[in-house]
Structure formats: C-alpha cells, structure tokens
Amino acid sequence: MEILVYGIVNSVTLALMALGFTLVYGISGLPNFAHGALYVITGFIVWSLLNTLKVPYLAAVILALLVTGLIGAAIYYFILIRIRGMATSEIIASYAIGLAILEGLRWGGFKGMTYTLPAFIPGSLNLGGVEIDYQRIVVVLLGAAVMGGLWLFTHYNRIGLALRGMAQDERAAMMLGIDSDRMAILSMFLGSVLAGLAAVALLPLGNIVVEAGYNVLIMAIAVCIVGGLGSWVGAVLAAFVIGFAQILTVVYLEPHFQMVVAILAIIVTLILKPSGLFGRQKELEERV
Amino acid sequence: MAGADVRKERLDRGIKVRTSGIYAISGGKEIGYLILPRLVLIAGLLLLPLVVTNPYWQRVISIVGIYALLALSFDFLTHYVGLVSLGGAFFVGVGGYLAALLNTKLGLSPLFSIPLATVGGGLFCTLAILPCLPLRGVYFSIVTLMYPLLAMRVIEALNIFGGTEGIMGVASFPNRWVEQYSLIVVLLLALFGLRRLVNTDLGLVFRAVKDNDQAVKASGINITHYKTLAVFISASLACLGGAYLVHIYMWAGISTLALDFSIIPIAATVIGGGGTLVGPVLGALILVPISELLRAFGTLRIVFYALILMAFIVFRSEGIMVYAQRKYHQFEKWVQV
Amino acid sequence: MSGPPLLEVQNISKAFGGIQALSGVSFNVHSRDIFGIIGPNGSGKTTLVNSITGFVRIDSGKVNFQGREISNLPPHKIADLGVTRTFQIMRPYYSLPAYKNLIIPLFSPRARRTGGWRGGGKLGDRDTVGIDILEEIGFERDSQVPYKLASTLPTGYLKRLELARCLALRPELILCDEVFSGLSMSEIASMLPLIERLQMEGITLIMIEHRLKELFRVANRVLVMNFGQKLIEGSPEEVMADPKVKEAYLGSEDLSDYV
C-alpha cells in the first residue's frame, strides 16, 4: 500500500517535472537544457514576491508563472532562434544558459536551507494506513489536471491544434500558414510555465536549492528518453515506470540509489532502444 | 578617395600548392614563415614556468596544462571523429581515481601511476562508452553527459573510494619543475602527435567517419573499430590530465567528476577555434587564468564562462585560431577599382 | 545464361511501419551483367539497393552472393565481400581533396588484401593509387581537379568520385543508385563508355536509373519495379514492349515517347 501510494505520488512528480521538457521538444524539436533552471527560478520568484513584496500567495504564483514563461520565450527569441536545428549547439547553448542562471542564483546568495515555500493546504491525512500530507495530494491532482488540460488544449483548441500540426510535420504546417517561429516561442512559453507549475507544486515539499535545478533536468531527461523523446503520452507512462522503480529501490535497497536508477534508465534505454519504450509506433499520433 | 572605389583584396601567400597541407618551400624566409608560429608556441610554453615567479600563478600553469589536455581530447573527438562527448569529466575522474588508487594502494610513484592510469583509464572509459558508440549526434551527447553524474552518484551511494571524502594522501611531484615541465612536454607531444595523426591515412578515416559514416561503411570499413580507437585516444588524454590533477592536488574526490571538467574544455575549444587542435590549447591558456582571476567571486566564474561559451556558439564564431590562421596565410591590401 | 548466378535475391520483403516498401522481390544477376532496375518514384528501388548492401535489415527473404548468404550482414562485411554501392545523394568527404577521398576505401581490409583497383597483390602508396583510379575514371591527371576539395567539385565529377570510391575496393559487383541523374547529355555520353569498360574488366553492375534511354543502351537485362513489387524482368526490348510497364510509368501512353 505504501509502495502504491508513494509510487503514484513520485510518478506524478516526475511527470510534472518532465512535461515541460517533452512539450518543447515535441513541438519545436528543441532540447531545452535550461529546463531545470527555469524550474528553480520560478521557486525563487515566488519566494521573493511572498517575502519581500508581500504579495498574496495565489497572485505570487500566477505572476511567477507568467514571468518564467516570458523568460523561456525570451531565451528562445533572443538566443536559441539563431542556432535552430543544430542540435548539439542547442544543447550546449541552452545548457550554458541554464548553468549561468543556476550559478548566478547561487552567487546571488540563494543557497542553504533558508528558502521554503508554504504548502497550499497544511496538514496530512491517513490513506489506508499510509500517512500522506495534503500537498502531495495536491501534486497528484494538479498533475492529473495538467495532463488532462494539455490533452484538451491540443485536441480542441485552434492554437493547440496548430502546435500539434507543427509537431507532426513542420514544413507542411508552415505551408498551411502556421508561423513556425511563433509556435516555437509559444512552445517555449508553455514549456517554461509547465516547469514553473511543477516548481510551485513540488517546492513546498522541501527547500528551494540550486541543486534541484540539475536534478530536475536529469529527471526530465530520464523520463523523456525512456518514454521516447517528444512523445508526451510516452513521457507519462515512463514517469510511472521510473517513479515506481525509484520507490522500489528506496524501499528494498537504499535511498541513495534513487538518482542512479534515473541515470541508468537513460543510459540503458538509449543503448537498447534509442526511440524509447513507447516511441516510434505512437510517434505520429501523440507527439504533442 | 576611400570608400566606393577601393576594395580589399586578399591573396594567398605563394607557397601553398595545389591543396592545403602541401607546401613548396624555397629559401629561408619561407621556412621561417612556416616554423615561426610553431616556435613561438613551443618556446612560449617552455618559458612559462621560468617567467612566472608567483607561487599561486605557478600552480595555475599546471592547471592550464591539464585543461589544455582535456580541450585537445574534446577537440579531437568532436571535430575529427564527430562524436560530441559532453562528459569529459568522466574521463578525468576515471584517470584521477585510478592514479590515486595505484599510488596509495600499490605505492607506485607518479612516474608509473600516471602512465598506467592513462592507458588503464583509457581502456576502462572505452569499455564503458562502447555500448553507446552506435548512437548518433544528440543521443551520444546526452548519454555521455550522464556518465560523470552516474559515476558520482554510484561512488556516493556505495561509499567506495573514500566516498564523499575522497582518497587522501596521494604523492606529489618531487618539485615544481618536474611537475610543470613534464606536463608541458607531454602536452606538446600530445598536440603535435595528434596533428600528425589526423593527417595520416588513419586520421583521414577518422575524419571520414565524421563527414559521412555511411560511405565509410560502404567502403568495407567497420566504423565501430575506428570510433573505439578514437575514443580510446581521446579518453587516454583526458585520463592523463586527471592523473596529473590528482597528483598535483594530492587528493582524488568526486569533484574530479565535476562539471568544470566537462564545460571548461568545451569553452576553451569553442573560443580557441574547433578543429585546429592548437586553438583549444590557446583557449585554455586564455580562459583558465581569467577563471582563476574570478575565483574570488565564487560561482560567478561559472556564469562567466557559461555566457562566453553561449555567445561563441550562438554567434557561430569560428574561434581565435581559425581567424588567425586565415589572416596569417593571406596578404591583404587595399586596391583601386 | 550459363553458370550459377553471381547474386540471387530470393523473395525479399521490407516494411517501414505500415508501408510495405518491398514485397517478395526475386531476381538473379549473372557475372558481367549490366542489370538495370527501373520503376516510378517510390517503387522501392533504393530500398532494394539498401537491402542488398545491408543498409536496411530485411524482414524476410534471402540474398546470396557467390552462393553465400549475405542477407542482413552489416554493410562493411558485405562491402568486404566485393559488393559495393554508390549513393543517390552524393556524399563525398567534403573536407578532403578528391584524391584523398579514395584513401578511405584504400585503407579498408579488402583493398589491402586485393591490392586495390587493378589488384596485383601489394597495395602501393595510397595517394598514387588514388590518383591512378581518378585518372582511370575521367579526372585529368595533370590538371588541378584531383587535388581540389570535394566540396568544390561539380556534380559530374562527384558522380565519378562515387564510382571511384567503389572501384578502389576492386569490387565484384557495383550497385549504382542513379549515377546519371543530374548530369547533362554530354556528361552521360562520356560516362557510358566508362560503364562498358568496367563490364569488360569483369565487374558486374546493377544500375538504378530514371534515364531509360541511356540505360537501355548498356543494360542487357532490366527489372521493372512498381509499388514494391517486381512487375516484369527481361531484355530491354521485352521491357519496352510490355504494356504493363507503360501502364505503370505513364498511365497508358506509349513508352517510346518517354524513352
């Protein structure tokens, strides 16, 4: 029971971390290695708004998500757009941006245990013999809502449909009058907002630390690669595979191995089946 | 009448014939023209330990040498074989830990532990990378990025090799002259050795794998063999750097697997000019001292070189060496139109 | 036709996802044939070449070369047996001069064993052998052309360079994927004697072509592909006269207009 509950919580957590990354890659083919930095920066923006400007929590969250989205869009518009399509350059450049943001934050004094966000709803409840706090339930519900929302958005909304079109065939979409650069900016905006959303939901469970940026990036990459790069249904499924694998190692082995599981998952998947566990056959249907 | 009726004319110097790399030399002046840049580099590097008197900056010379080796290793693998490895720190860590173990457990002096760590580490890294060799482009980069992280977490989790404490008490060099001159000589040997290698027939096969691996396969050549060999060469160089590092700091720890050893060599290569082999050495010579100057600012120096790296990549700069070589080989003059 | 076939293709099939690129194709190629393969775009010709040379794995069927099964061997092993190919999209080693492009095939185990083009045991200096091959195939030895960077060469020379890369291995069989496409009439005219000379040297050629007129002048057998299947096989005359071929190519008009 414990494994089941915490497995689900952990899996949804991973899915939340990864969805932004997979969305951007799925639509514009851009491996956004600044993803982890965007995650952390949201946390610090919310914290600053709450503690220095005394903005109400909800307003701070919404404002922070918007700002993060704009930062993401700006990164694409001013920097990455120049090296579009050169995959290795994109990785190195976006990674360098992420590094600069994270280490800049560290230099600016954001380190240690002092930065925390309050939980949405404090307290916990007993679920079939397992203690679980409300924040984790919020995470699961939010995760489900994001996945559902994304599905609705990409299937019933004009912009969503355009994004899906771009994901399937960029050139054909361009011929039908979809501006591929605008869509890519939009995808970066949405991806960054999703990274921020994950941060807002997950950070109250711990401290805001710079290292989280690197860990989130690794987790997002692990989930996306195991699920097949760019397929978000694959990513969700992979989140559950890795999520449960991690909980099982924690229960039966040792907590230290949690990260090892994720990194090994990346290496083993790439070596054995580079298209990912759920890649290839679903590629055309579910890229967004 | 400057402006409209004047244009810049560029002429290749006369001694290049037919194709790049073949020269027709007549007379001392032209020999001098070819030898001079090499001489400046060799003499400059050899004089460095004599000129620098401040003990702090003397240590920096060694660090520059190590980063130059790493950058060479990255440049060779990236621009001559087409494998972009983002996990150079893995090689450094393997070389470093191996040298430290050989020294502390078996009591081998640096004279033996460094060469053994170079070859042994190269073999170990090659075996570790072997399963990823069929991967192309981005996928290879992502996997290699994961290797140092994995090694770090495994060492932490299993608490082997001294865990987070590291291995202490590694022997140092007898004196700084041995340390610096052996490193500089090794660096020069590696540099000129690689330059020679990439122009041999074997080197051409490496370059062909980068240009067009399909055609190499169609020529009856097993590309995995050659990729393996190239990874071994590159990994050995980086392991050599790692072994030096450990003996200089007299300590091996997880920080030998840290990001710095993956990122700074890439930045040095990009700044110095990828594909020139000399460029990365020059890049390390520029970047590492600047980074040392910024040490007082803590992690700000990582921000600094991350931004430089990004700028060079985004503006698709050719790098210092490529620019310098072009200028050196051409006359430029303004002519009337 | 006498003797066992050099290359036997037996009932090979290949699907990409839901698309059946090849379904049950069989044919035999004999030594010293010039075997043409034609068919409309998307009929599976290039997939056929890729399957024979090991660049894609086939789902079922068998390929035998000199009586030995080569299906699904890795490409470099198949090339090592003497089955080489050119690429439709030419991909020379752009950063190398033309003659240095030949160093790579000359470096291969097969070339070292056979002595490269013309054979005769020991392989001499690779640069010299490379320039010899280029001269053989139409690069003027004393001009600048063999020394120019491959990225600066015009299409005609690049096509020849592709062939030269195959010849350097001293092959038994060359699969040419559209060596005439993109060439002018006069360039093709100068290539045809070269093809015939290769045949006289004892090399077997499989040629995929869209330029039917030129192909029919040199080929002695022709296979017509359509929708991944073998439509018919026969001499050029038989193929030209066959109504099914006209149908496949042009709806139902007269093929002689096309030729």
Distance from the Cα of B205 to chain C's closest Cα (Å) equals 6
* Mean pLDDT of all residues belonging to chain C: 85
Nearest residue to C9 via CA among C236, C201, C173: C173
Which residue type does A75 have?
A: I
Q: What is residue A118's DSSP assignment?
A: -
What pLDDT score does B115 carry?
Answer: 95
**Percent of chain C residues past pLDDT 70, beyond the cut:** 92
A85 φψ region: left (φ > 0), alpha (ψ -120 to 50), beta (else): left
Helix axes B137-158, B110-129, angle to 10 degrees: 120
Residue A274 scores a pLDDT above 80? no
Q: Per the domain annotation, does A281 fall within a domain?
A: no
Dihedral angle, C-alpha C230, C231, C236, C242, nearest 10 ° = 170
Residue A281 scores a pLDDT above 50? no
What pLDDT score does B33 carry?
Answer: 77
User: Six-digit token pair at C8?
Assistant: 């036997």
A262 vs C35, residue with greater confidence: C35
Q: Which residue do the tokens 């009726």 mark? A: B5
**Closest residue in C to B275 (Cα–Cα):** C95
Beta strands in chain C (DSSP E): 7-16, 19-29, 34-38, 60-65, 68-69, 83-85, 173-177, 204-208, 221-226, 229-234
B50 vs A155, residue with greater confidence: B50
CA distances from C117 to A39, C31, C93, C150 (A): 61, 18, 20, 21
| d(C-alpha B286, C-alpha B280), whole Å | 10
The CATH number that applies at residue C226 is: 3.40.50.300
In a 13 Å sphere around the CA of A218, the CA atoms on its Cβ side amount to 23
DSSP secondary structure of B233-275: HHHHHHHHHHHHHHHHHTEE-GGGGSTHHHHHHHHHHHHH-TT
Contact of B113 with B99, CB cutoff 8 Å: yes
Same domain assignment for residues C155 and C215: no
Same domain assignment for residues C49 and C102: no
Same domain assignment for residues C78 and C176: yes
- Per-residue pLDDT tens over the stretch C159-195: 889 889 898 888 999 999 888 888 888 888 888 888 8
Q: Per the domain annotation, does A247 fall within a domain?
A: no
Number of domains in chain A: 1
Q: Per the domain annotation, does A91 fall within a domain?
A: yes
Instruction: Name the band, by pLDDT with cuts 50, 70 and 90, for residue C131.
Output: confident
Same domain assignment for residues C74 and C100: no
CA distances from B183 to B67, B136, B243, B248 (A): 11, 34, 11, 11
Q: Which residues of chain B have pLDDT under 50?
A: 1-2, 18
| d(C-alpha C4, C-alpha C65), whole Å | 10
Closest CB from C80, C100, C144 relative to B220: C80
What pLDDT score does B246 carry?
Answer: 94
DSSP SS3 for B73: helix
Residue A283 scores a pLDDT above 50? no
Beta strands in B50-176 (DSSP E): 167-168
* Mean pLDDT of all residues belonging to chain A: 82
B299 vs C221, residue with greater confidence: C221
User: Six-digit token pair at B113?
Assistant: 């532990």
Q: Per the domain annotation, does A253 fall within a domain?
A: no
CB contact under 8 A, A91 and B86: yes
Residues 6 or more apart whose Cβ sits within 8 Å of residue C225: C25, C37, C38, C39, C43, C44, C45, C48, C231
What pLDDT score does C95 carry?
Answer: 82
Of how many residues is chain A composed?
A: 288
Q: Per the domain annotation, does A103 fall within a domain?
A: yes
Phi, psi of B287 (to 5 degrees): -70, -40
Domain limit, last residue, from C145, C170, C195: C170
- Per-residue pLDDT tens over the stretch A47-103: 888 888 888 888 899 999 999 999 999 999 988 888 887 878 888 899 999 989 988
Same domain assignment for residues C198 and C214: yes
Residue A112 scores a pLDDT above 70? no
Domain limit, last residue, from C139, C170, C201: C170
User: Six-digit token pair at B115?
Assistant: 């060469």
Closest CB from C87, C97, C108 relative to B214: C87
What pLDDT score does A206 carry?
Answer: 80
Instruction: Count the neighbouring beta carbons within 10 Å of the beta carbon of residue A243.
Output: 24
What pLDDT score does B65 carry?
Answer: 95
Residue C259 scores a pLDDT above 70? no
* Mean pLDDT of all residues belonging to chain B: 87
CB contact under 8 A, B147 and A256: no
What is the CATH number that goes with domain B6-336? Answer: 1.10.3470
Nearest residue to B204 via CA among C164, C116, C96, C126: C96
Taking the mean position of all CA atoms in its chain, how far away is CA B311? Answer: 20
Contact of B256 with B93, CB cutoff 8 Å: yes
Contact of B240 with B95, CB cutoff 8 Å: yes
**Closest residue in B to A254 (Cα–Cα):** B157
Residue C118 scores a pLDDT above 60? yes
CB contact under 8 A, B135 and A274: yes
Domain limit, last residue, from C114, C143, C170: C170
Number of domains in chain C: 2
Helix axes B278-293, B260-272, angle to 10 degrees: 120
User: Six-digit token pair at A133?
Assistant: 């706090």
Of how many residues is chain C composed?
A: 259
Residue C256 scores a pLDDT above 70? no
Contact of C205 with C214, CB cutoff 8 Å: no
Determine the Cα angle at A205 with ends A69 and A34, to 5°.
30
The ipTM of this complex is 0.84
Phi, psi of C37 (to 5 degrees): -125, 120
Contact of A130 with A5, CB cutoff 8 Å: yes
Is the CB of A218 inside 8 Å of chain B's CB atoms?
Answer: yes
> Which of chain B's residues have a Cβ under 8 Å away from the Cβ of A266?
142-143, 146
Q: Which domain holds residue C136?
A: 90-170
**Percent of chain A residues past pLDDT 90, beyond the cut:** 12
Contact of A73 with A188, CB cutoff 8 Å: yes
Nearest residue to A115 via CA among A10, A212, A218, A36: A212
Q: Per the domain annotation, does A268 fall within a domain?
A: no
Contact of B247 with C124, CB cutoff 8 Å: no
- Per-residue pLDDT tens over the stretch A173-182: 777 777 778 8
Residue A288 scores a pLDDT above 70? no
Residue A132 scores a pLDDT above 90? no
Same domain assignment for residues C179 and C249: yes
**Domain boundary assignment for chain B:** 6-336
What pLDDT score does A35 carry?
Answer: 93
The model's pTM? 0.88
* Stretch (H or E) spanning A127: strand A124-127
Q: Which domain holds residue A53?
A: 2-211
Q: Per the domain annotation, does A251 fall within a domain?
A: no
Chain B (14-53) residues lying within 8 Å, Cβ to Cβ, of chain C: 18-19
**Closest residue in C to B222 (Cα–Cα):** C76
What pLDDT score does B25 carry?
Answer: 63
> Which of chain A's residues have a Cβ under 8 Å away from the Cβ of B147?
267
Residues 6 or more apart whose Cβ sits within 8 Å of residue C15: C21, C59
Mean pLDDT confidence for C38-67: 89
Closest CB from B205, B216, B218 relative to C84: B218
CB contact under 8 A, A104 and B266: no
Distance from the Cα of B81 to chain A's closest Cα (Å) equals 15
C257 vs A193, residue with greater confidence: A193
What totals of helices (H) and strands (E) does chain A contain, helices first?
A: 11, 2
- Per-residue pLDDT tens over the stretch B136-169: 777 888 888 889 988 988 898 888 888 888 898 8
